[in-house]
Structure 1
Amino acid sequence: MERVQFSLLLIFTLSFYCLRAESEDGLAIHKVKQRCNAEEKDALLDFKQSLSDPHIVLSSWDTDEDCCTWKGVSCSNKTNHVIKLDLSVFSETLYAASLHPSFFRLRHMQYLCLSNIHFNQTRIPHSIGSLTKLSHLDLSYSGFVGEIPPHIGNLTKLRYLDLSYNSLVAYNLLWMSHLFSLQHIDMSKVNLTFATNWLHEISVLPALSTLYLSSCNLQTLPNLLPFSNFSSTIERFALVYNHLNGILPNWLGQLKRLKELYLDLNYFTGPISFASSSLLCDLNVLSLSYNNFTKLSNDETALKCKEYKMTKIDFSNNQLNGSIPEWFGNMRNLTDLFLGNNQFDGLIPHSLGQLTNLATLDLGSNNLHDNISEFHFASLSQLRYLDLSHNKLSFSMISLNWTPVFQIYQLHLSSCLVGPQFPLWLQNQKLISLLDLSNCGISDIIPSWFWNISSQIKYLNMSQNAIRGELPISMNIALEANIDLRSNLLEGRLPRLKNFVRCVSFSNNKFSSGIELYVNGNMSVGCARPFSKSSLM
């Protein structure tokens, strides 16, 4: 009897604890479902109602659901307040007439990204300064106009600020003086014409590491850097597409932690000199294209780095003259070297052929004269883009049995002396998508193996040669390709193209038939002018 009573008591006790545990679990689940603060949930729903959502991307924002589970919304695990709103996670565009006032009831928010929401040419409301817990603010590409409200200066915890690519203006940047935690600024496309003291006002920030001020209508770059921590904190600095001119100020070479410098599309002149500077030692990216620089230092003794970390150099589209310095060959981490559209002359340094990480080499449109040999490409196994076009270069020293160590994607050799034979070393290039062999002195027949590698070529230009023979009846070219075989000695029947092409030109050849494939519309192509018999023959 006692055993029966004990068993019943044990069952009752266990059942009680199981029911209690289930009840507590139920409460816990209920709490999770109701984790979102009611006032903040209402604010988000009001904000949702103010948006035009043609693709219904905010479908998860439902009154019956916990707002902490909504897409783009995150809550604190401790306080349950909404601390993050990131609408950039939606791939489709949202539209709004303005930033709804209810939005500013989200006072605990720390991370706010409204990038790519189209606010229909409205102003940033002054109330933005009430979100004082923000550490991340991204309003880029959002259609805001007018003056940047100085009330942003109230956001003293801000570490990341992106106002880029709107139609904003700032008459000064004094409002930044309280943002002592700011590490990242992107104000590209903000009109700073009237903010003449911009560098002094920004340089007071003690922790700034990234500064992007591209397309800001900046007129001058001061010759002297104000006394500040700027020189020891800045790591990424971009002033692309402004109106800056004169020679590079010396203080740029004294930025101790600089990793990336972008000064493209300005009006800088004079030499690119690194004397009395350790700028190049720790720099990863140096981009100075589309300026008016005239000279590149050839003094290798000025470069005293034990190791160079540089991965990208872009000096293209300047007026640089003289020979290409040998010291480029010391930068063994280089992946991209752009020296095209300058006035370099002389030989191509063999040291460039030792850059084992080089993927892009652009030397096009200079005055270089050299006999190209295998040594120029000895270790370039990573090479994917090569432009040697519009120089005085000859490939006569390349042996017939040469097999390149690289697999090229884009090859620009226009106006180089590649012929008279068709380059046999192209036979092993299986990844090529762009091939420009125009005006290369080729007087050979296109070998049959070429049409085995042509199926992935999107742009093919072999015009202005003396290429002989007939094209295959069915030409294997990539879909929507551009083909230019003008001004050769090709004959026979015009080929049928296996795929639709954007544009094809066979003019100034000796074709005898097949014109009906093109002029009758059976092989429609997207050239600027319609085909006629004279353009094809």
Structure 2
Amino acid sequence: MHLHLHPVLLIVAAEEERGREIKLRAMASPLRFLSSLLLCLLALLLHRATVTSGCFSMEREALLDFKAGFHDTHNRLSSWVGQDCCAWAGVICRATTGHVVKLDLRNTNTYDRALRGERMNSSLLALSHLRHLDLSFNDFSGICIPEFIGSFKKLRYLNLSSTYFMGGIPARLGNLSSLYALDLTDALYVDDYGNGYPVDNLDWVSHLTSLKHLDLSGLNLTDVPDWFSSVNMLSSLQVLNMSYGGLNSIPVSVVHVNFTSSLTVLDLSFNSFSSTLPKWLGNVSGLTSLGLSSCEFRGTIPGAIGDLSSLTFLNLGNNFLLEGIVPRSMANLRRLEELDLSVNQLSGTLTGWLEQLTNLIVLNLSYNLFNGSVPASVGKFSNLTGLYLGGNSLGGVISEAHFESLTKLRVLDLFDNSITVSIGQSWVPPFQLRVIYLSNCHLGPQFPEWLRFQTQTQELTMHDCKIAATIPNWFWNFSSSTVTLVDLSDNRIRGRLPSSLSFARLEELYLDSNLFEGPLPAMLPSALDTLYLSNNSFTGQLPGCGIDETTYASLRGRPQGRSGSLKAIPRFDLAASYGCPIN
């Protein structure tokens, strides 16, 4: 029996031993956890031992050395004292690590308080966790862009705009492979003659594969051989600005554009391409803003422009040589808020495409060859603030319907067209205009009564508007606190001038070639520096009369102080008006 129990007892004993081991392990687990926790805390304490009051000493010393390279006449860096560099102005640290991740010394007061950089030491590389560096609108005109900036491996944002560094752009910036945004607008010094340091190549740009925002505007890129190939490597690019760059070439056709699906903003304005509009633009379907003004583009506007249905801003103005009719596909751009086609040779009518652009805020078609009438549907553009149609060959009639919903309109420019403005004398306009240019339109024969409701106008021109009526008394209080220019010349307006003009800010007054009569005002606005009264029938004594021709000639060329008399007006014309002669 004992022989049979012995194996059983051995088994039981073994099980008990195993149980004791399990209990011991269970008891040891909390101890092991506590030991691990203590080790972590000790490591953290050792880590923080290198930090003094939330700032790493190495990073603090690097920032102080950086500060020493500035001439800070306005004490913008006066807070850079003490141990905690994370509390200094423009220095941002990550809360979890204490490392400096952002250095923002942008000069927000661009007319003053600029830091003057006299040297930049590579010790700044101690900020190895830096992601954001902004030195914009400070003065570095005595030094070059440091090569070491290209060694900030974690940098995502770099802004050196309006810093005026000497020399060129270091190619080592191409090492910033994590960079999302690069702004080098006016980053290089420009002399008094407008000559900036030339940039000879942009090959380094092609290595910035993470780049979403690139602004090279204002740099001298005239010598760059193939700028498009470098930029075309950036498949994630969303914003590209190369305006005012002196670029003189652009490919008209491209086999493949890498940023067709990503690019939303393209500004190439104020360059000298002297070519037709690129065909590949129609493939950049995500564009919301396209600036191609003053680029010397010629030829017609391609129908593919209508494929850019996401556009809210389109500027093709001041190219001088764009010609032909506006393609009807322009009507597809129904999200447009600003359209500028001014100063070209575009022709044809406005119907068939303009009516669909109901979201427009600013419409500038001035100085072209457009003909026909203005569509009445423009009166439905309820967001419109600026309507610029001057300098065309437009005709037809503009009535109250053209202004029906234009409550936000501030600028009305119909200058130098053959338009008849037919508006009832009892009409009350829905807008308050700041600028009114109606010269050479047919407004008369009555004086437009609706003007009396305009109380905020700054400029009014109604030269040669076929007005043949007596000027109403209310006009002498027209926008009296805001108006600076009034031109009623070359009409047949009758009436007398008041004894004093109440236009507090009036600088220019043109009443010449009308039928005004009676004496001139005894008091004139103190701001007035240009007065034309010739070819009228004024009588009586001139204010300040009796001065000789030599004195009048000197007054025409330079201000003499403003006393309210004709003696104080630097430019005036009284020829063929009655009054005392100029001897």
Within the candidate set 303, 311, 316, 1:283 is matched to 311
The aligned length equals: 501
CA distance in 1, matches of 2:252, 2:474: 60
Query: Is 1:496 the equivalent of 2:517?
Result: no
Query: What is the percentage of aligned positions where both structures have the same residue?
Result: 36
Query: Is 1:248 the equivalent of 2:269?
Result: no
CA distance in 2, matches of 1:121, 1:340: 44
Within the candidate set 127, 144, 153, 2:174 is matched to 153
> Is 184-193 or 371-380 further displaced after alignment?
371-380
Query: Is 1:99 the equivalent of 2:120?
Result: yes
Structure 2 partner of 1:367:
393
User: Counterpart of 1:281 in structure 2: which amino acid?
Assistant: S
Indicate if the aligned counterparts of 1:271 and 1:293 stay in contact, CA closer than 8 A.
yes
Residues 40 and 262 of structure 1: is their aligned pair in 2 closer, same or farther, counting only changes over 3 Å? Answer: same
Structure 2 partner of 1:460:
486
Indicate if the aligned counterparts of 1:137 and 1:162 stay in contact, CA closer than 8 A.
yes
Residues 120 and 75 of structure 1: is their aligned pair in 2 closer, same or farther, counting only changes over 3 Å? Answer: same
Residues 323 and 138 of structure 1: is their aligned pair in 2 closer, same or farther, counting only changes over 3 Å? Answer: same
Residues 480 and 449 of structure 1: is their aligned pair in 2 closer, same or farther, counting only changes over 3 Å? Answer: closer
Q: Secondary structure at the match of 2:353?
A: helix
Query: Is 1:426 the equivalent of 2:445?
Result: no
Alpha-carbon shift at residue 381 of structure 1 (Å):
2.1
Unaligned residue ranges in structure 1 (runs of 5+): 1-29
Indicate if the aligned counterparts of 1:148 and 1:168 stay in contact, CA closer than 8 A.
no
CA distance in 1, matches of 2:402, 2:97: 64
Structure 1 partner of 2:322:
293
Indicate if the aligned counterparts of 2:532 and 2:574 stay in contact, CA closer than 8 A.
no
Structure 1 partner of 2:222:
193
CA distance in 1, matches of 2:199, 2:569: 44
Query: Is 1:38 the equivalent of 2:57?
Result: yes
Residues 110 and 418 of structure 1: is their aligned pair in 2 closer, same or farther, counting only changes over 3 Å? Answer: same
Query: Is 1:83 the equivalent of 2:83?
Result: no
Unaligned residue ranges in structure 2 (runs of 5+): 1-48, 189-195, 546-551
Query: Is 1:386 the equivalent of 2:412?
Result: yes
Query: Is 1:141 the equivalent of 2:159?
Result: no
Indicate if the aligned counterparts of 1:99 and 1:119 stay in contact, CA closer than 8 A.
no
> Is 199-208 or 473-482 further displaced after alignment?
473-482
Deviations 1:267-304 (A, max 9, x none): 111111325x6534211111001111111335x4x468
Q: Secondary structure at the match of 2:540?
A: strand
Query: Is 1:59 the equivalent of 2:78?
Result: yes
Alpha-carbon shift at residue 524 of structure 1 (Å):
7.6
CA distance in 2, matches of 1:248, 1:418: 39
Query: Is 1:110 the equivalent of 2:136?
Result: no
Indicate if the aligned counterparts of 1:168 and 1:189 stay in contact, CA closer than 8 A.
no
Deviations 1:39-75 (A, max 9, x none): 32233233333222333333323x2363322222211
> Is 442-451 or 353-362 further displaced after alignment?
442-451
Deviations 1:419-449 (A, max 9, x none): 2322101121222222112222233333232
Query: Is 1:258 the equivalent of 2:299?
Result: no
Q: Secondary structure at the match of 1:512?
A: coil
Query: Is 1:163 the equivalent of 2:184?
Result: yes
Indicate if the aligned counterparts of 1:326 and 1:351 stay in contact, CA closer than 8 A.
no
Q: Secondary structure at the match of 1:281?
A: coil
Indicate if the aligned counterparts of 2:107 and 2:114 stay in contact, CA closer than 8 A.
no
CA distance in 1, matches of 2:505, 2:87: 44
Alpha-carbon shift at residue 216 of structure 1 (Å):
1.6
Indicate if the aligned counterparts of 1:36 and 1:80 stay in contact, CA closer than 8 A.
yes
Q: Secondary structure at the match of 2:473?
A: coil
CA distance in 2, matches of 1:456, 1:353: 26
Q: Secondary structure at the match of 2:479?
A: helix
CA distance in 2, matches of 1:385, 1:249: 33
Residues 280 and 171 of structure 1: is their aligned pair in 2 closer, same or farther, counting only changes over 3 Å? Answer: same
Q: Secondary structure at the match of 1:401?
A: coil
Query: Is 1:416 the equivalent of 2:459?
Result: no
User: Counterpart of 1:120 in structure 2: which amino acid?
Assistant: S
Q: Secondary structure at the match of 1:41?
A: helix
Indicate if the aligned counterparts of 2:459 and 2:484 stay in contact, CA closer than 8 A.
yes
Structure 1 partner of 2:370:
344
Q: Which has the larger radius of gyration?
A: 2
Alpha-carbon shift at residue 313 of structure 1 (Å):
0.7
Query: RMSD of the alignment, in Å?
Result: 2.8
User: Counterpart of 1:333 in structure 2: which amino acid?
Assistant: N
Indicate if the aligned counterparts of 1:505 and 1:535 stay in contact, CA closer than 8 A.
no
Residues 195 and 398 of structure 1: is their aligned pair in 2 closer, same or farther, counting only changes over 3 Å? Answer: same
User: Counterpart of 1:329 in structure 2: which amino acid?
Assistant: E
Q: Secondary structure at the match of 1:420?
A: coil
User: Counterpart of 1:237 in structure 2: which amino acid?
Assistant: L
CA distance in 2, matches of 1:465, 1:290: 32
Alpha-carbon shift at residue 325 of structure 1 (Å):
3.4
Deviations 1:123-154 (A, max 9, x none): 21111112222111111111123221110011
TM score, norm. by length of structure 1: 0.86
Residues 530 and 231 of structure 1: is their aligned pair in 2 closer, same or farther, counting only changes over 3 Å? Answer: closer
Indicate if the aligned counterparts of 2:233 and 2:258 stay in contact, CA closer than 8 A.
yes
Structure 2 partner of 1:441:
466
Alpha-carbon shift at residue 180 of structure 1 (Å):
1.4
CA distance in 2, matches of 1:484, 1:66: 66
Indicate if the aligned counterparts of 1:482 and 1:503 stay in contact, CA closer than 8 A.
yes
Within the candidate set 278, 281, 299, 1:270 is matched to 299
Deviations 1:64-113 (A, max 9, x none): 36332222221111222222122225412222234344444333221111
Query: Is 1:523 the equivalent of 2:564?
Result: yes
Query: Is 1:313 the equivalent of 2:339?
Result: yes
Deviations 1:219-244 (A, max 9, x none): 22112224243111111011111111
Indicate if the aligned counterparts of 1:494 and 1:513 stay in contact, CA closer than 8 A.
no
Residues 183 and 511 of structure 1: is their aligned pair in 2 closer, same or farther, counting only changes over 3 Å? Answer: farther
CA distance in 2, matches of 1:51, 1:409: 46
Alpha-carbon shift at residue 391 of structure 1 (Å):
1.0
Structure 2 partner of 1:119:
140
Residues 533 and 254 of structure 1: is their aligned pair in 2 closer, same or farther, counting only changes over 3 Å? Answer: closer
Alpha-carbon shift at residue 367 of structure 1 (Å):
1.1
